[in-house]
């Protein structure tokens, strides 16, 4: 039934009906580690999967499940799994299909920690990553070999703002019998639904726009349920052959279309344990109720801030895919109706020193490395997150000394422009 409602309606209602015990209208927080069995037979039925219900909150919790169903409805998948952070979701996704000797082919425009996971952490467990420049799909194709398990990209990359050509990447992946995995954190399903463009798995940091208030960490994996794992059975033994870590279960037989999310739940979450707390799940689910109205306001504000900065004498360049001057603007139109969420970057004249001065001169806009909050946030990477990097390494990581990143929030636009204008004035003065 939920799928019949429009996005805004599902965001408010999907995943939760007033519970039968109390008729609570707001989603209740089931703050419990475990659930009681009626009797021995009941526990046996639960463990055998013959009865629906809950056993232990690492294996499932009603509040977390309600959030999962809400996100699954918004992304239009066959199943979703919430985890303790975006990073946990990204890591669990790769580990669900890749093991020793395997590799992931990934666009290099990535969130820094995801880049670190692929370039340094997963190799310690035998999973390699090969990177391509996000527009160079010929290179992407060259990197695919017999041990490749997936192609990965961010729909709007953090912090570069690069917009991936999802349809072309999905076509390429499927031609090679591979799934396309997309991190949809910055775009959110309100602006972009990667499954509509051929993606097979979507991951999110719900810490950002989904939760929307900068108060709770969380991540989620969503399975489109369309990838034909059994047609490429030799390549995906973790899904198509008996799995020791799950009593010899064959996930494609046990879960059908939802084999990927089934293994991610039963093996990755159950044994690695990156659980999302029920209180966090409730807060994120509540945040999602206002996702559509927040994103409308954020896109509106960011567009005006972008055009204001473009004309400002203290600013040398502005990078925001919703602006016509951005090299990925056509893609923003193709995949997001010309909108581009709230992350934009610009160059401040005067380099590193001016960037630091601007950051300090802001009075309303908060200095923070986070994004996706209702509050507008600023980060000057060269003097904060990237301060240990040499000018050369800064350039390589795509972060110039003068780069300032804004995550535009939902405040009144005039107040944002006033704060930016007074701070920029102090930098040129
Ligand atoms: C923040 C972020 C992550 C990591 O999420 P956490 O919730 O901080 O673990 C992953 N991908 C993208 C694009 C992000 O912005």
> Using a 6 Å cutoff on CB, does residue 109 contact ligand 1?
no
> Using a 6 Å cutoff on CB, does residue 114 contact ligand 1?
yes
Q: Which residues of 165-174 are buried (b: 16+ CB within 10 A; e: fewer)?
A: bbbebbebbb
Taking the C-alpha atoms of residue 146 and residue 144, their distance in angstroms, rounded to an integer, is 7
Taking the C-alpha atoms of residue 299 and residue 270, their distance in angstroms, rounded to an integer, is 38
Separation of CA 171 and ligand 1 centre (Å)? 26
Give the lowest-confidence range in 14-23, 203-212, 287-296.
Answer: 14-23
Q: Given this structure, which CATH class describes domain 292-428?
A: alpha beta
Query: pLDDT of 198-236, one tens digit each?
Result: 999 999 999 999 999 999 999 999 999 999 999 998 999
Would you state the structure tokens that stand for residue 121, as one six-digit string? 């952490």
Q: Which of 18-27, 259-268, 376-385 has the highest mean pLDDT?
A: 259-268
Separation of CA 83 and ligand 1 centre (Å)? 12
Give the lowest-confidence range in 63-72, 137-146, 238-247, 329-338.
Answer: 238-247
Average pLDDT over residues 265-282: 97
Separation of CA 341 and ligand 1 centre (Å)? 15
Query: pLDDT of 156-214, one tens digit each?
Result: 999 889 999 999 999 999 999 999 999 999 999 999 999 999 999 999 999 999 999 99
What are the beta bridge partners of residue 129? 104
Separation of CA 111 and ligand 1 centre (Å)? 7
DSSP result, 98-153? --TT-EEEEES---HHHHHIIIIIGGGGT-EEEEE-TT-HHHHHHH--TTEEEEEE
pLDDT (0 to 100) of residue 80: 98
**Tokens 């994996």 sit on residue:** 221
Average pLDDT over residues 136-160: 97
Would you state the structure tokens that stand for residue 312, as one six-digit string? 């400002």
**Domain ranges within the chain, ordered by starting residue:** 15-286, 292-428
Mutate to test the pocket of ligand 1, among 207, 287, 405 (most ligand atoms within 8 A of CB): 207
Nearest CA among 85, 93, 45, 10 for reference residue 289? 10
User: What is the dihedral sign for C-alpha 393, 398, 401, 406?
Assistant: negative
> Which numbered atom of ligand 1 lies nearest the CA of 88?
9
> Using a 6 Å cutoff on CB, does residue 154 contact ligand 1?
yes
Give the lowest-confidence range in 3-12, 114-123, 126-135.
Answer: 3-12
Find the length of the chain. 429
Q: Assess whether the region 15-286 and the region 292-428 belong to the same CATH fold.
A: no
pLDDT (0 to 100) of residue 345: 95
- pLDDT of 296 higher than 70: yes
Separation of CA 51 and ligand 1 centre (Å)? 35
Which residues fall within 8 angstroms of residue 420, CB to CB, at 6 or more apart?
Answer: 305, 308, 309, 362, 365
- At residue 429 the predicted structure's pLDDT band, cuts being 50, 70 and 90, is low
Mutate to test the pocket of ligand 1, among 83, 92, 111 (most ligand atoms within 8 A of CB): 111
Residue of the CA atom closest to atom 5 of ligand 1: 86
Taking the C-alpha atoms of residue 179 and residue 101, their distance in angstroms, rounded to an integer, is 18
How high does pLDDT run on average in the chain? 95
- pLDDT of 51 higher than 50: yes
Instruction: Provide the CATH number for the domain formed by 15-286 in this structure.
Output: 3.40.640.10
> Which numbered atom of ligand 1 lies nearest the CA of 90?
10
> Using a 6 Å cutoff on CB, does residue 345 contact ligand 1?
no
- pLDDT of 127 higher than 90: yes
Separation of CA 429 and ligand 1 centre (Å)? 37
> Using a 6 Å cutoff on CB, does residue 85 contact ligand 1?
yes
Average pLDDT over residues 58-71: 98
Mutate to test the pocket of ligand 1, among 84, 113, 341, 407 (most ligand atoms within 8 A of CB): 113
> Which numbered atom of ligand 1 lies nearest the CA of 158?
13
| Percentages of the chain per state (helix, strand, coil), in multiples of 5 | 45, 15, 40
Nearest CA among 319, 321, 300, 301 for reference residue 310? 319
- pLDDT of 1 higher than 80: no
pTM: predicted TM-score of the whole model, two decimal places: 0.96
Separation of CA 268 and ligand 1 centre (Å)? 18
CA distances from 6 to 62, 74, 253 (A): 24, 9, 33
pLDDT (0 to 100) of residue 233: 81
Average pLDDT over residues 321-348: 97
> Which numbered atom of ligand 1 lies nearest the CA of 219?
7
Separation of CA 342 and ligand 1 centre (Å)? 15
pLDDT (0 to 100) of residue 397: 67
- pLDDT of 390 higher than 80: no
* Separate counts of helices (H) and strands (E) for the chain: 18, 12
Average pLDDT over residues 338-360: 94
User: What is the dihedral sign for C-alpha 388, 391, 394, 399?
Assistant: positive
pLDDT (0 to 100) of residue 2: 45
Residue of the CA atom closest to atom 6 of ligand 1: 86
> Using a 6 Å cutoff on CB, does residue 111 contact ligand 1?
yes
- At residue 3 the predicted structure's pLDDT band, cuts being 50, 70 and 90, is low
> Using a 6 Å cutoff on CB, does residue 87 contact ligand 1?
yes
pLDDT (0 to 100) of residue 4: 78
pLDDT > 70 in the chain, percent: 98
Question: Angle at the Cα of 355 (from 343 to 322), degrees rounded to 5?
Answer: 25
Q: Are 55 and 30 in contact (CB under 8 A)?
A: no
- pLDDT of 91 higher than 80: yes
Average pLDDT over residues 352-373: 95
Residue of the CA atom closest to atom 7 of ligand 1: 86
Separation of CA 5 and ligand 1 centre (Å)? 29
Separation of CA 188 and ligand 1 centre (Å)? 12
- pLDDT of 352 higher than 90: no
Q: Are 220 and 66 in contact (CB under 8 A)?
A: no
Nearest CA among 254, 268, 261 for reference residue 78? 261
The alpha helices in 144-290, defined as continuous H runs, are 166-175, 188-191, 237-240, 251-255, 259-263, 270-272, 278-289
CA distances from 224 to 4, 73, 177, 181, 243 (A): 17, 11, 16, 10, 22
Query: pLDDT of 251-270, one tens digit each?
Result: 999 999 999 999 999 999 99
> Which numbered atom of ligand 1 lies nearest the CA of 87?
9
Separation of CA 94 and ligand 1 centre (Å)? 15
Separation of CA 384 and ligand 1 centre (Å)? 18
112 cis-preceded (ω within 30 degrees of 0): no
Give, as one character, the DSSP assignment of residue 156. B
């Amino acid at each position: 039934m939920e799928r019949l409602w429009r996005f805004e309606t599902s965001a408010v209602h999907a995943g939760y009906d007033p519970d039968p015990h109390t008729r609570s209208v707001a989603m209740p927080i089931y703050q419990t580690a475990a659930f009681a069995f009626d009797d021995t037979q009941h526990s046996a039925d639960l463990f055998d999967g013959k009865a629906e219900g809950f056993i232990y909150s690492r294996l499932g919790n009603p509040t977390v499940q309600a959030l999962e169903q809400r996100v699954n409805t918004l992304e239009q998948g066959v199943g979703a799994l919430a985890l303790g952070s975006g990073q946990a979701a990204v890591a669990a996704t790769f580990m669900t299909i890749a093991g020793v000797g395997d590799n992931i082919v990934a666009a290099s425009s990535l969130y820094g920690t995801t880049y670190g996971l692929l370039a340094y952490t997963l190799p310690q467990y035998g999973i390699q990553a090969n990177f391509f420049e996000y527009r160079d799909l010929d290179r992407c194709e060259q990197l695919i070999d017999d041990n490749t398990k997936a192609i990965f990209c961010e729909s709007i990359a953090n912090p570069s703002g690069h917009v991936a050509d999802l349809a072309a990447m999905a076509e390429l992946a499927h031609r090679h019998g591979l799934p396309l995995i997309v991190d949809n954190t910055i775009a959110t399903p309100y602006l972009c639904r990667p499954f509509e463009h051929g993606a097979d798995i979507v991951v999110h940091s719900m810490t950002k726009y989904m939760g929307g208030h900068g108060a709770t960490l969380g991540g989620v994996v969503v399975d489109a349920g369309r990838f034909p794992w059994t047609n490429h059975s030799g390549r995906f033994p973790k899904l198509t052959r008996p799995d020791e870590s799950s009593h010899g279960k064959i996930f494609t037989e046990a879960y059908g279309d939802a084999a990927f999310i089934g293994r991610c739940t039963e093996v990755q979450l159950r044994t690695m344990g990156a659980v999302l707390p029920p209180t966090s799940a409730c807060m994120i689910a509540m945040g999602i109720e206002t996702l559509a109205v927040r994103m409308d306001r954020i896109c509106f504000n960011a567009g005006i801030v972008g055009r204001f900065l473009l004309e400002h004498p203290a600013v040398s360049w502005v990078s925001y895919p919703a602006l016509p001057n951005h090299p990925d603007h056509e893609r923003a139109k193709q995949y997001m109706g010309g909108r581009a969420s709230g992350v934009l970057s610009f160059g401040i004249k005067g380099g590193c020193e001016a960037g630091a001065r601007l950051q300090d001169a802001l009075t309303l806009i908060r200095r923070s490395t986070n994004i996706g909050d209702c509050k507008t946030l600023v980060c000057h990477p060269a003097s904060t997150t990237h301060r240990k990097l040499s000018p050369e390494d800064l350039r390589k990581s795509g972060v110039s000394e003068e780069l300032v990143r804004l995550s535009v929030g939902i405040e009144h636009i005039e107040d944002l422009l006033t704060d930016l204008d007074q701070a920029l004035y102090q930098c040129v003065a």
